Amino acid sequence: MSDLKWWETAVIYQIYPRSYQDSNGDGIGDLQGIISRLDYIAGLGVDAIWISPFFKSPQKDFGYDVSDYCDINPEYGTLDDFDQMIAKVHDLGMKLMIDIVPAHCSDQHAWFQESRQSRDNPKADWFHWVDPLPDGSAPTNWLSFFGGRAWTFEPRRQQYYLHNFLPEQPNLNHANPDVRQAFVDIAKFWFDRGVDGFRLDAVHTINADSAPYQNNLANPDFVLGELPQQQQPFFRQLHDSAQLNQPSIQQFSEAYRACADSYEGDRYLMGELHGDDPIKASQTFTDTGRLHATYNFNLLAWDGLSVDGLKQAITSAVAAFNGTGRLSFAFSNHDVPRVGTRQLKNLGLTDAQRPAMQLLLLKLETCLIGSTCVYMGEELALSDVQDIPVDKMQDPWGIEFAPVFLGRDTCRTPMVWRKSEPNGGFSSANQTWLPVSAQHLDSAGLDEADRKGSVYNQFAEFLAWRKQQPAFMSANVISDITGGPRQIIFDRTSDQQTLRCCFDFDTLTATFEEV
Q: Hey, what amino acid is at 249?
A: I
What's at 135, amino acid-wise?
D
201 is catalytic: yes
pTM higher than 0.85, yes or no?
yes
- Concerning whether 8 is annotated as a catalytic residue, the answer is no
At residue 402, the pLDDT reads 84
CA atoms of 180 and 17, how far apart (whole Å): 27
Mean pLDDT value of segment 368-397: 96
- Average pLDDT rounded to a whole number, residues 246-275: 96
Looking at residue 73, its pLDDT comes to 98
Cβ neighbours of residue 280 under 8 Å, at least 6 residues apart? none
Identify the pLDDT of residue 1: 58
Share of the chain above pLDDT 90, in %: 92
Q: What is the pLDDT of residues 66-109, one digit of tens each?
A: 999 999 999 999 999 999 999 999 999 999 999 999 999 999 99
Phi, psi of 463 (to 5 degrees): -65, -35
pLDDT of residue 17: 98
Q: What confidence score (pLDDT) does residue 2 get?
A: 67
- For residue 318, pLDDT over 90 is answered with yes
- Please give the order of strands across the beta sheet that includes 478-482: 478-482, 487-493, 498-504, 509-514
pLDDT at res. 210:
86
Q: Which residues are CB-contacts of 106 (< 8 A; sequence separation ≥ 6)?
A: 57, 58, 60, 65, 66, 67, 112, 168, 169
Coil, helix or strand for 40? helix
pLDDT value for 3:
84
Q: What is the pLDDT of residues 404-463, one digit of tens each?
A: 888 999 999 999 999 999 999 999 999 999 999 999 999 999 999 999 999 999 999 999
**Which H/E stretch holds residue 343?**
helix 339-347
What is the structure's pLDDT at 260? 98
Average pLDDT, the chain: 96
Gap between the Cα atoms of 59 and 200, Å rounded: 18
Q: Of 8, 61, 201, 378, which residue is the catalytic one?
A: 201
Among 81, 272, 335, 379, the one annotated catalytic? 272
Tell me the C-alpha distance between 427 and 81, whole Å.
18
CB count within 10 Å of CB 230 equals: 15
Residue 321 reports pLDDT greater than 90: yes
DSSP 410-469: GGTSPP---TTSGGGGS--SSS-SSPPPGGGGGG-HHHHHHSTT-HHHHHHHHHHHHTT-
Collect all residues with Cβ–Cβ distance below 8 Å to 90 and sequence separation of at least 6.
96, 194
* pLDDT beyond 90 at 311: yes
Ranges 5-14, 122-131, 404-413: which has the least confidence = 404-413
> What pLDDT does 124 receive?
98
Q: Is the pLDDT of residue 499 over 90?
A: yes
CA distance 190 to 198: 9
CA 305 to chain centre: 19
Q: Are 374 and 46 in contact (CB under 8 A)?
A: yes
Chain-centre distance for alpha carbon 47: 17
Give the pLDDT of residue 229: 61
Helix (H) or strand (E) holding 400: helix 396-401
More confident residue, 467 or 399: 467
Distance of CA 74 to the CA centre of its chain: 23
Contact between 167 and 108 under an 8 Å Cβ cutoff? The reply is: no
For 140, how many CA atoms within 13 A lie in the half-sphere containing its CB?
23
Q: Please answer whether residues 325 and 8 qualify as being in contact, where contact means their C-beta atoms are separated by less than 8 angstroms.
A: yes
| Model pLDDT, residue 478 | 98
Q: Is 34 helix (H, G, I), strand (E, B) or coil?
A: helix
- How many angstroms separate the CA atoms of 96 and 49, rounded? 5
With CA atoms as reference, report the closest residue to 489 among 311, 317, 344. 311
Q: Could you give the count of Cα atoms lying within 13 Å of 36 in the half-sphere of its Cβ?
A: 17
What are the angstrom distances between the C-alpha of 25 and each of 391, 416, 422? 22, 15, 12
C-alpha–C-alpha distance, residues 57 and 80, integer Å: 18
Q: Which of 271, 245, 162, 168 is nearest to 211 (CA)?
A: 162
At position 35, the amino acid (one-letter code) is I
CA distance 454 to 298: 28
Q: Are 415 and 21 in contact (CB under 8 A)?
A: yes
In the predicted model, is pLDDT for residue 468 greater than 70? yes
- Can you name the residues that pair with 151 across neighbouring β-strands? 162
**pLDDT score, position 228:** 63
Confidence label for 231 from pLDDT (cuts 50, 70 and 90)? low
Distance (Å, rounded) from C-alpha 183 to C-alpha 111?
13
Burial label, 279 (beta-carbon count in 10 A; 0-12, 13-18, 19+): middle
* 3-class secondary structure per residue, 211-243: CCCCCCEECCCCCCCCCHHHHCHHHHEECCCCC
| Integer Rg of the chain from CA | 22
At residue 403 the predicted structure's pLDDT band, cuts being 50, 70 and 90, is confident
Mean pLDDT of 161-168: 97
CB 256 within 8 A of CB 190: no
**How would you classify the pairing of strands 293-295 and 129-130?**
unpaired
Which amino acid appears at position 261 of this protein? D
